[in-house]
Every structure is written in C-alpha cells, then in structure tokens.
Chain A
C-alpha cells in the first residue's frame, strides 16, 4: 500500500513539474515583453526601470536559466507578483482557496450522493416510468451549460421567489458570528453548490444506472441469488459495490471539469474563490495571476486523482492490500 502511494505521489510530482514547465512557456507566449508589460502595470515605463525589472526577474538571462529560476520559485511556492492587485500571487490564491474547496467539495458530495441514489433507483426499476423520468432528467441536466443553470437558478430562487441570496459568500456588513454566520454562509452556498453539482449528478446517475444493469447480469450475482441471499443484500453488497467502481473512476476523470465548473459558478455567483480570481485575472489580462491559478488548479486535480485512485483500491473487492 505504502509503495503504491509513494509511486503515485512521485508520478504526480513529475506531472506537476511538467505543467510548471508548460506554464513557463505559456507566460513567454503572452503578448508583449514581460518587463515592459510589468513596467506599464506598475505605472512607469522609462528604460532604466525596465532594465531593473529585467534584472530583478532574471529576464536578461538565457532561457534555460530563466526556466530554472521559475521552477525553483514555484517549488518554494513563489508564483510571482500580481502588479494589478499589488500582492504576491501565492498570497492571493491562499486567501481564496478555502472558499473554492468548500464549494467544490460540497458540490462533489451532493452530486455523488444524489447521482448514486437516482442511478440505483433507475436501475432497480429499469424500464418503468420512474426509470424513464430519471433518465430524461439526467439527459437534460447533462446538456445544460453551467453558466445558464446558474442564471436560471438566480432568476427562479432569487428574483422570482426571493428565497436565496444571488451572490457572495456571506451577507455583507451583517458581521454575524458562530452559528448564525455558518447558517448565513450555508444559505449563500446552496445555489452555487447545487448548480455545480447538477451536471455531475446527471453524469453519475447515468453511470450508476448503466453500471448496475451491467453488473446485475454477471455470474457472481446469479451465484449470490442461488445461495439464497435476499434481494436487498445482493443489491447492496454485490451489485452496488461493484457497480460503483466505474463511478469512482469517473469522479477522478471529472475532477478537472469540476475545477473548470468552479470558475464559471464562482463568476456568476461572485463566490470569492480562485475561480473568481481567475476570471478577474482574465478581465485585467493579469497573466502572472492567471497562470498561477492555473498551476494551483492542476495541483488540485492531481491531488484529487490520487485520492480517487486510493479510494478505488479500497472499494474494489478484487484488490486486497497485504497489510
């Protein structure tokens, strides 16, 4: 088990390094000489200042050396400086990360729980009206653009019914503490998390349904039935456990999409996470910040993939760790 984890972590680190290198070249692709751009952003553009900036950021050095300096910086969590926001990129991201984690993890939990639930129901009652209804709903949610679902949610629940707040993380100026604050944040969280979760819920519903119908036909289920096990036990212990494997794989594959979805959701709901930060960086063409967020997003996906890999190993009845 330990060697497996070590191997996966090592692989993840290599991939992350490759992404950092890619990032370095993407920065060089950005329009304009970085030093001139930085000078312009800092509000000065005389030659001496530009030269100073070049020296400070090592832009006068040969490319391989620049690359080395950049990678060294990222390893020590120095992602550069955002001149637009007048703060180090790492600090800006650090401030916003908790909100994004809260949003994505809640959305992930909702989508997984509801997706497996609906998928199981659909498979259990395959061919009935319930199955058709669930399948059609899943198809529709699967085809809806996220930003549009978010806006329709606002239109319905904020504008028309006035049930939920349409933007932000908490009520501005309310200065709530303790439980009242938690309730306030939860109220703000419901709509963004549901929006982000719906698409994935649809995916997991379809996957769970298909996978359960597939597993049901296998021989070991017949054996279990022949042994005289009750239907409930067969469904839960034999069918569902095996049917969940592709769902776990899918969850890993989709972690990148989840982060991408967070950019859209946070933008629409003004949720103060790194997705919103990415959008702001985009509007201001703040490339340092944009690429910094990109590296952190990639790291999050890698970590998430590692976790799903471990979960897969734990759930899969065919793999037993010698411990």
Chain B
C-alpha cells in the first residue's frame, strides 16, 4: 500500500488528478453547507453578468438564479451519479466476467456473446431510450448508465481470470477442495483487481460525461440541478449570456480531466510494466 502511494505520487498526472478529485469532492460535500443559496431560488435580476456582485460571483441565469450555487449543487449530482453508476456496473460486470473466465467452455461462450451484444448496441442511444421510457429520475439515470457501461468490465475481468486460473496457487486451492465461489472470491479476484481499478476510474469520468449529456438533452432528474442541465438551459440564450453555459461546462471538463489523470496515474502505479516510455 505504501509502495502504491509512493509510485502514485511520483506520476505527475496522478498528483494533479488527485488534487482535482479531492477539490471536487470537498465542493460536493461541504459546498452546500458553506454556500446555502438554493440553486432554484431567484436571488437577483435575470442575466446578471458574472463578477459584478460578490454575493453572486458567477452571475445569474435567465430566471435570476445563482449560477455559482448551481455549480456547487451540481457537483453533488455529477460525482454521485458517476460513482454510483460505476459501482453498479462493477457489481454487474465483475461476476459475469469472473464466471465466464473461470468456468470457460459453453458458459464462457454464452456469457461473452451476451456481453458482446450489449457492447454492440450504441450506448448513448440506449441510455437515452432507457431514461425516456423509465422516466427521468436519478435512479433511471444511474440504472441506464450502469447498463451501458458494464461490458468492458466483464471482458477485462474475464481476461484476467482466464490467465490467473491456471496459476499454481489456484490449482492448489482446487486440490485442497475449496468451493468455486471461495476460489473466485478469495484467490482469483483480489489478484485481478488492479486493472479493474484503473478502468473504474476512467468509467467514472465517462459516466459523468454521459450524465451531463442526458441532462443536457432534458433527461436529467427534474428535482436535482446538474451541470448538464445548466448548460442545456443556457443554450437558448447563449448570445445574450455566455456565462450560463461556459462555467458549468468548465466544471465538467475539470472533473472529467481529473479522473482521467487519476486513471493514468493509477495505471502507472499499478501496472508499472505498461507504464509509458520516458517515465
């Protein structure tokens, strides 16, 4: 573990990414306490330009709502959806991949065809259809993002399990009469985790992008403010008020960038073999 942090802190992208993520999480957790302006309430005249009033630093939108407050509350939705939907995708994808890789043969064939099928369906289009049919809410958004993002997890885990299955310590466990479940959970999966962690960090980033795109199209949870929704709402008035669309977009960009950098840092730290040239 110490070794891990050491190599993680050695990679510049990992450090920058960690700083961004810690910052984003603190904004999401503590921001609403320190800045209690409700993002839905009218606080000033509409279209107040940014940097004119210190109480409303980033100006107001078409309805006189505080853009800065929206960004702080939006951080909660983006990060929450990103993390939870990735978690659900892992919960779905890991067992499928592990079972396919461990048992091989027909089971593997069937599960992999199933996975490939899901991978072929255009993911964003499927997410749109699912959220539209299940009605927009935070649950339907998390469900559909998880449903379109688990296949890479299953494939990755399958590949890892496939190569670990023949190792001696696994064979030893088989000989001592351990159950399949025990072997998969205690012997194989812990050793297959590092590439999964790298993938998961990138998946959170993709999930945040997906959520913001859905909200932008008007498929966000109507009770929660999110960055994508703000950009979507500001789109029609972009000629008069650039700030309504620019700031939330920057917030998305920075968080996604941070997570991608963490992914690179993790990759360098966990798979030193694959780390890029010149490091």
A residues contacting B by CB (< 8 A) are: 15, 18-19, 22, 26, 29-31, 126-127, 139-140, 142-148, 151-152, 154-155, 159, 210, 213, 253, 255-257, 259-261, 263-264, 267-268, 278-279, 282-283, 285, 287, 290-291, 293-294, 297-298, 301-302, 305
Contacts and interface: CB of A to CB of B under 8 A. Distances in A.
Contacts of B25: none
B245 A256 contact: no
B219 interface: yes
A152 B125 contact: no
Contact of B121 (A127, A263, A298): A298
Contacts of A155: 238, 242, 245-246
B95 to A, nearest CB: 22
B23 to A, nearest CB: 15
Contacts of B277: 126-127, 213
B129 A294 contact: yes
A287 B133 contact: yes
A145 B219 contact: no
A146 B249 CA distance: 10
Given A140-B257, A297-B125, A30 B213 contact: no
Nearest to B205: A143
A127 B238 CA distance: 40
Query: Chain B, interface size: which category?
Result: 35 or more
A305 B276 CA distance: 29
B185 interface: no
A145 B217 contact: no
B253 A282 contact: no
B112 to A, nearest CB: 13
A252 B134 CA distance: 29
Contacts of B120: 15, 19, 256, 298, 301-302, 305
Interface stretch (B45-53, B69-77, B227-235): B227-235
Nearest to B277: A213
A260 B124 contact: yes
Contacts of A253: 119
Given A15-B120, A127-B278, A279 B134 contact: no
Interface in B231-251: 231-232, 235, 238-239, 242, 245-246, 249
A297 B125 CA distance: 8
Contact of B124 (A139, A140, A144, A261): A261
Contacts of B228: 145, 147
A21 to B, nearest CB: 11
Contacts of B130: 26
Contacts of A305: 120
A279 B217 CA distance: 8
Contacts of B217: 263-264, 267, 279, 282
Contacts of A143: 205, 253-254, 256-257, 260
B31 interface: no
Contacts of B213: 145-147, 260, 264
Given A140-B257, A155-B242, A256 B249 contact: no
B245 A148 contact: yes
A139 B257 CA distance: 7
A159 B122 CA distance: 33
A29 B257 CA distance: 37
B216 A264 contact: yes
B121 A145 contact: no
Given A126-B277, A145-B253, A256 B121 contact: yes
A151 B238 contact: yes
A18 B256 CA distance: 34
B129 A291 contact: yes
A241 to B, nearest CB: 20
Nearest to B116: A15
A104 B59 CA distance: 37
